[in-house]
């Protein structure tokens, strides 16, 4: 079997990929801002299940979670599940306050502010960034950064 290698000079760097990878990159999944916005709704709905494993299904295996209420980067599904075991105990419900969505070929970024209401009635306003990748027919979170709003 013969492998064809495609190379391209991009911003001074040489990118090498197989013909199969080149075909995958060239095929962009159709999407829209409303569809990407619904990915947060999917994630937020998974919080309501109170199942850390259900929430973790939104993340790619190699994604990075820099969570609102943790100092530790969560780099594996096991670490993400551990975080959500603690976070879900607060029964969080998220609401988007403002957002900006950017879309590329099989990737999207959703950046903005959101507020979580917790079961004790308290609110946690925060900033967020979700990056997504379309792979194997599904949009998954590849990185998620969330930090509480600084005090005024």
Tally of CB atoms within 10 A around 144 = 22
pLDDT in tens, 27-51: 999 999 999 999 999 999 999 999 9
Residues 77-132 pLDDT 10s: 999 999 999 999 999 999 999 999 999 999 999 999 999 999 999 999 999 999 99
Confidence of residue 21 (pLDDT cuts 50, 70, 90): low
Q: How confident is the model at residue 151 (pLDDT cuts 50, 70, 90)?
A: confident
pLDDT at 1: 43
Mean pLDDT of 130-147: 97
Angle, CA 94 vertex, CA 34 and CA 102 arms, to 5°: 35
What CATH number labels 29-148? 3.10.450.50
pLDDT of amino acid 22: 52
Contacts of 141 (CB under 8 A, 6+ apart): 39, 43, 58, 59, 60, 63, 130, 131, 132
Residue 8, pLDDT above cutoff 70:
no
Domain chopping of the chain, boundaries: 29-148
pLDDT at 23: 52
pLDDT band for position 20 (cuts 50, 70, 90): low
* Residue 17 pLDDT exceeds 70: no
Instruction: State residue 52's pLDDT score.
Output: 98
How sure is the predictor about 4, in pLDDT bands with cuts at 50, 70 and 90? very low
Q: What is the pLDDT of residue 19?
A: 54
Q: How confident is the model at residue 140 (pLDDT cuts 50, 70, 90)?
A: very high
CA–CA distance, 26 with 72 (Å, rounded to integer): 36
Count how many residues are written for the chain. 152
């Amino acid at each position: 079997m013969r492998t064809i290698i495609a190379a391209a000079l991009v911003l001074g760097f040489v990118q090498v990929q197989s013909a199969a990878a080149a075909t995958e990159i060239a095929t962009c999944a159709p999407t829209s801002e409303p569809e990407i916005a619904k990915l947060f709704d999917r994630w937020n709905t998974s919080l309501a299940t109170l199942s850390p494993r259900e929430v973790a299904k939104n993340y790619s295996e190699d994604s990075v979670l820099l969570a609102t209420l943790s100092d530790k980067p969560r780099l594996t599904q096991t670490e993400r599940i551990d975080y959500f075991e603690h976070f879900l105990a607060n029964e969080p419900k998220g609401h988007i306050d403002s957002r900006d969505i950017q879309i590329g070929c099989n990737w999207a970024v959703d950046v903005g502010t959101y507020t979580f209401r917790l079961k004790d009635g308290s609110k946690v306003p925060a900033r967020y960034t979700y990056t997504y990748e379309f792979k194997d027919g599904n949009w998954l979170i590849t990185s998620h950064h969330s930090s509480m709003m600084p005090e005024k």
